[in-house]
Amino acid sequence: MASADLLKQGSEDPEHVQGKSQGQEESLQNHNHYLCGSVAAFANIAITFPIHKALFRQQLFGLRAREAMLQLHADGLHTLYRGILPPLLQKSATIAIMFGVYEDFLGLLHRHAPHAPEVLTQSVAAILAGTAEAVLTPFERVQTLLQDPRHHGSLQNTAHSFRVLIQQHGISELYRGLVPILLRNGPSNALFFGLRGPLKELLPEANSKAGHLVNDFVCGAILGAGLGVAFYPLNVVKSHAQAQIGGEFKSCRAILVNVLKERDGRVSRLFRGVHLNFQRSIFSWGIINATYELLLKMLN
């Protein structure tokens, strides 16, 4: 029987062996998308966190950029990176999901709906990936609370924040602000993945690794900054929703009306912080896209 097994193994169909090899290689490449996205996000957060913190103050309190920076300076260097752990964990996982789940769904849709328009396939895969990212809303929620100076005395760190929210208000409190996150993630992902390829084709052709790196940075920077402006009001709504602990879960519309009322009904004030967000997004998404593409090429 052993001889028969050996004979069977020796006569295994070469095409079958090749198919298994290709499948294993495809699986490894899919894992690479997750790994590259995670590392790219980690690098981005470590570099741009202080800018994000100043931006959050502008979104929450309607401050000017200089006023927000002065507040951070007054708080001291020891609090500058307070709250960085949730975005490190959340963003690393979110960007890994964004790129990895997108590629997984894209491959799945290509196999099961090969004749569907590519624009539709990419859009559906991107929206599904954005929806999957929303599972990590609790990290974004805790990050908001830790960055809010009104909670500096009551919330000590990430673990303490999670414990307080769950014990005093239940699991649902971790998902406050989920609706604006869903409204933001799906459409912004669809536009990012849909426009990334065509935009890169408009850039000057790269003939070196450095040239490709620059093009990937520029492509990510333009898309990230543009989408950041387009979806900025949803981020304002999300920040206001998540800064609240306990009480009624208000709708996006109700929060938006309240914010406009606090800012004298002027829509322009709803975009307080958009300039800093634009600058941060240029660096953030430039770093993420360039790092992701560079690592992916190295691993593949």
Question: Does any domain span residue 237?
Answer: yes
Using one digit for the tens of pLDDT, what is the confidence trace for 93-146? 999 999 999 999 999 999 999 999 999 999 999 999 999 999 999 988 998 888
Question: Does any domain span residue 133?
Answer: yes
- Name, in order, each residue with C-beta under 8 angstroms of 282's C-beta and a sequence gap of 6 or more: 221, 224, 225
Using one digit for the tens of pLDDT, what is the confidence trace for 153-174? 888 888 999 999 999 999 999 9
pLDDT at residue 6 above 50?
no
Average confidence (pLDDT) over 81-93: 82
Mean pLDDT of the chain: 85
We report the CATH number of the domain holding residue 218 as 1.50.40.10
Predicted confidence at residue 7, as pLDDT, reads 45
- Per-residue three-class SS string for 95-117: HHHHHHHHHHHHHHHHHHCCCCC
Using one digit for the tens of pLDDT, what is the confidence trace for 21-38? 555 555 556 689 999 999
Predicted confidence at residue 203, as pLDDT, reads 92
DSSP string, 181-245: HHHHHHHHHHHHHHHHHHHHHHSPPP-SHHHHHHHHHHHHHHHHHHHHHHTHHHHHHHHHHHT--
pLDDT at residue 184 above 70?
yes
Predicted confidence at residue 164, as pLDDT, reads 92
Question: Does any domain span residue 174?
Answer: yes
**91: containing domain:** 28-299
Question: Does any domain span residue 11?
Answer: no
Question: Does any domain span residue 14?
Answer: no
Weakest-pLDDT range from 21-30, 176-185, 212-221: 21-30
C-alpha dist (Å) from residue 291 to 44, 92, 99, 212: 9, 13, 13, 11
Other CB atoms within 10 A of residue 97 CB: 24
In total, how many domains does the chain have?
1
From the list 263, 123, 246, the residue with the least C-alpha distance to 187 is 123
Question: Does any domain span residue 155?
Answer: yes
Predicted confidence at residue 74, as pLDDT, reads 83
Average confidence (pLDDT) over 41-59: 82
Question: Does any domain span residue 66?
Answer: yes
Question: Does any domain span residue 97?
Answer: yes
